[in-house]
């Protein structure tokens, strides 16, 4: 007996949701019950892989297209329809027109249409899509939006995404104004936009505007907007979002904004919690003062030379760039991700790096990112001159981008133990995995032990370093014998007495 076929329709449809469209089609040969399930399945997704056929088998492609059409004709109730395809000839677009008619008639709620036509042509999305009252989510890619969008109010529409479409300013403005309850808008890689102002968007919550070539002016009046992301193309663009007083997330990337614009704009958002600035090359000096800001990201802004942060609720920070002048008042900051990229790697730069890292000494966790890891290896003469900058950090991680060019694991651990001399964990992460050392300490010995014979760098610190009080060490994911032996020799050479009697070595 076929016990699976006896299950209720909702359970069987849930099982089918984990299969690809081709696998779902194959189930229709099992029994009439499965054919029924196929025609009542609430979601259909046809991507380019479904239609991909070698040129010598174009007859099979024709049969696939015919199969899709016959299926869509018989649909009873459809919630989601997704079509990603390319057709060699513009004349094939009548097929897509019919498919869209079928799914609209079935009451589709989520519609995603991405159609690519060869020879530089674009598929004109039918006007009837913008008159359908059942749609809640609309995603359109690589198509052309026709300008006549008057007279239709899409009261159910919650989300509109335009990806690589050709649409003029007025067309997009009309579309948005016809969706009074829209909550999400995404404009990505669109052509034809120049000066776009979106009004009547009081229900809008999130907006993404990315990579729209030719867009030189953008503005919106969305009083309830909570998240705004703008990604430009390093070209000047006037952005006006000052009316969005309830904004909580602001992300700007590759935008030609100035210090004056940023300071004026930032002051308009008293509730801002997340701020991300990436590759904004006209910025030079930032002053960030906020009582609500929780996360700040500054990445690749090469001209920035100074940042002043006064944010008592800031808990996470990410920075990528060269060493800059930096002041930080963020008592709640607990985790940071820092990537320092020197233009010239020499001792003066290393000194600046030590001073920069000292700003994060009160953190519990810190991640350092480096191309090869060499930048964290502080020269011996500087170790003897300066104190460890991160003596308060308990969890230190080094992320290496190019591990083939990095120093040995022993040298990296040795370098990190100078930077953070009493950690609970040290992790070295790369494409080869994540290698972890876990430290357990006991109260420092009053006599200092055998390490007194060394000139210990912790003499100038308010803590004793790991050499004086390490009790137990655990390795995780360190499987190479050479790496294990080198690490054991390193710790043994520092203090053989403590190693022999108080160390417990474990391998996970």
The CA-based dihedral angle spanning residues 301, 309, 323, 375, taken in that order and rounded to the nearest 10 degrees: -110
**Does the pLDDT at position 39 exceed 70?**
no
Q: Where are the alpha helices (DSSP H) in 116-158?
A: none
**Does the pLDDT at position 181 exceed 90?**
yes
- Residue 272: predicted pLDDT: 97
Q: Residue 508: pLDDT band by 50, 70, 90 thresholds?
A: very low
The reply to whether 410 falls in a domain is yes
The reply to whether 230 falls in a domain is no
Q: What is the pLDDT of residues 405-438, one digit of tens each?
A: 999 999 999 999 999 999 999 999 998 899 999 9
Cβ–Cβ < 8 Å for 133, 155: yes
Residue entry with tokens 């000047």: 236
The reply to whether 503 falls in a domain is yes
Whole-angstrom distance between the N-terminal and C-terminal Cα of the chain? 48
The reply to whether 481 falls in a domain is yes
- Residue 503: predicted pLDDT: 42
The reply to whether 182 falls in a domain is no
Q: Residue 1: pLDDT band by 50, 70, 90 thresholds?
A: very low
- Take residue 465 and report the two structure tokens written for it: 């370093």
Cβ–Cβ < 8 Å for 169, 193: yes
The reply to whether 271 falls in a domain is no
- Residue 249: predicted pLDDT: 97
- Take residue 171 and report the two structure tokens written for it: 């067309």
Domain count for the chain: 1
- Residue 448: predicted pLDDT: 47
Q: What is the pLDDT of residues 256-279, one digit of tens each?
A: 999 999 999 899 999 999 999 999
Residue 59, H or E segment: helix 58-73
The reply to whether 268 falls in a domain is no
207-212 own/partner pairs: CB under 8 Å, 24+ apart: 210/186, 212/187, 212/188
**Does the pLDDT at position 41 exceed 70?**
no
Q: Residue 442: pLDDT band by 50, 70, 90 thresholds?
A: confident
- Residue 247: predicted pLDDT: 96
Its domain, for residue 428, covers: 368-444+454-507
DSSP 134: S
- Residue 95: predicted pLDDT: 85
**Does the pLDDT at position 54 exceed 60?**
no
**Does the pLDDT at position 500 exceed 50?**
no
CA 182 to mean position of chain CA atoms: 24
The reply to whether 502 falls in a domain is yes
Distances (CA, A) of 442 to 169, 445, 472: 68, 9, 9
Q: Residue 462: pLDDT band by 50, 70, 90 thresholds?
A: confident
Contacts of 299 (CB under 8 A, 6+ apart): 276, 277, 278, 279, 318, 319, 320, 321
Count the residues in the chain.
Answer: 508
CA dist 382 and 492 (Å) reads 24
Cβ–Cβ < 8 Å for 135, 157: yes
């Amino acid at each position: 007996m076929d016990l699976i076929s006896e299950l209720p329709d909702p359970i069987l449809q849930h099982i089918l949701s984990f299969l690809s469209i081709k696998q779902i089609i194959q189930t229709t040969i099992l029994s009439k019950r499965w054919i029924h399930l196929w025609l009542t399945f609430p979601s259909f997704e046809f991507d380019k892989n479904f239609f991909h056929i070698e040129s010598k088998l174009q007859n099979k492609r024709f049969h696939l297209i015919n199969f899709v059409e016959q299926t869509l004709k018989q649909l009873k109730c459809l919630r989601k329809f997704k079509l990603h395809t390319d057709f060699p000839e513009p004349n094939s677009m009548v097929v897509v027109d019919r498919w869209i008619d079928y799914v609209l008639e079935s009451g589709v709620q989520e519609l995603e249409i991405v159609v690519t036509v060869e020879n530089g042509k674009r598929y004109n999305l039918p006007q009837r899509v913008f008159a359908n009252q059942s749609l809640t989510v609309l995603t359109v890619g690589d198509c052309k939006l026709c300008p006549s969008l008057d007279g239709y109010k899409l009261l159910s529409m919650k989300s509109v995404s335009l990806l690589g479409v050709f649409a003029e300013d007025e067309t997009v403005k009309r579309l948005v104004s016809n969706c009074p309850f829209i909550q999400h808008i995404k404009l990505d890689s669109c052509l034809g936009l120049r000066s776009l102002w979106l009004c009547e968007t009081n229900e809008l919550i999130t907006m993404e505007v990315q990579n729209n070539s030719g867009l030189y002016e953008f503005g919106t009046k969305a009083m309830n907007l909570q998240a705004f992301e703008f990604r430009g193309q390093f070209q000047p663009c006037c952005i006006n979002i000052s009316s969005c007083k309830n904004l909580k997330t602001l992300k700007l990337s590759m935008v030609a904004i100035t210090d004056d614009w940023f300071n004026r704009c930032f002051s308009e958002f008293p509730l801002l919690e997340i701020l991300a600035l990436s590759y904004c090359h006209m910025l030079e000096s930032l002053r960030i003062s906020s009582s609500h800001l929780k996360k700040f990201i500054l990445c690749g802004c090469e001209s920035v030379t100074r940042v002043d942060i006064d944010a008592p609720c800031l808990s996470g920070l990410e920075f990528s760039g060269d060493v800059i002048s930096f002041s930080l008042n963020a008592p709640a900051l607990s985790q940071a991700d820092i990537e320092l990229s020197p233009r010239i790697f020499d001792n003066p730069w290393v000194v600046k790096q030590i001073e920069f890292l000292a700003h994060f000494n009160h953190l519990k966790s810190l991640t350092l990112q480096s191309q090869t890891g060499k930048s964290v290896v502080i020269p011996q003469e500087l170790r003897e001159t300066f104190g460890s900058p991160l003596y308060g950090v308990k969890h230190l991680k080094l992320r290496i981008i190019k591990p083939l060019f990095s120093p040995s694991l022993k040298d990296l651990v040795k370098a990190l133990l100078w930077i953070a001399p009493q950690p609970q964990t040290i992790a070295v992460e790369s494409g080869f995995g994540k290698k972890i050392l876990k430290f357990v300490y006991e109260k420092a010995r009053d006599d200092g032990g055998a390490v007194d014979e060394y000139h210990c760098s912790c003499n100038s610190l308010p803590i004793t370093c790991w050499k004086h009080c390490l009790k137990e060490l655990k390795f995780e994911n360190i499987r190479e014998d050479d790496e294990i032996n080198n690490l054991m020799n390193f710790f043994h050479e520092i203090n053989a007495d403590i190693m022999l009697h108080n160390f417990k070595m474990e391998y996970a």
